[in-house]
Amino acid sequence: MCVLHIDPFGTITCPYTEQIPLTTFGTLHVERASHIEWHDQEQGWTITLKNGDQLPNTFPSRQDALAYEANYIHEHFSEMVQPHPYFAFQ
């Protein structure tokens, strides 16, 4: 299940999925919530969130890291969404 966060300005924030044709809402701005890189010292793929936090898992294959990343983002996305500063007091 994909949860869409819609702020008072009509901006939709959600994990990207092709299950919902998001382009029907208008022009998209897509940003990765994390990135996956090879870690020489760990000898595995690591996931770093946009806020700089690194997930503790290391993966032997990039495909395994991508699958874990997608699951993690979907499970924790609500916690990762930053409220619009204008509405932070509400």
pLDDT for position 83: 59
Q: Is residue 86 part of a domain?
A: no
68-88 CB burial, b ≥16 within 10 A, e <16: bbeebbeeebeebeeeeeeee
Q: Is residue 88 part of a domain?
A: no
Count the neighbouring beta carbons within 10 Å of the beta carbon of residue 47.
21
Q: Is residue 59 part of a domain?
A: yes
Q: Is residue 89 part of a domain?
A: no
Q: Is residue 87 part of a domain?
A: no
Q: Is residue 51 part of a domain?
A: yes
Dihedral angle at the C-alpha atoms of 49, 14, 11, 30, nearest 10 degrees? 60
pTM of the model: 0.69
> How many domains does the chain divide into?
1
**Digits of tens for pLDDT over the chain (90 positions)?**
677 788 888 788 887 777 888 888 888 888 888 999 999 999 999 999 988 999 999 999 999 999 999 889 888 877 777 655 554 444
Q: Provide the domain limits for residue 47.
A: 5-81
pLDDT for position 28: 85
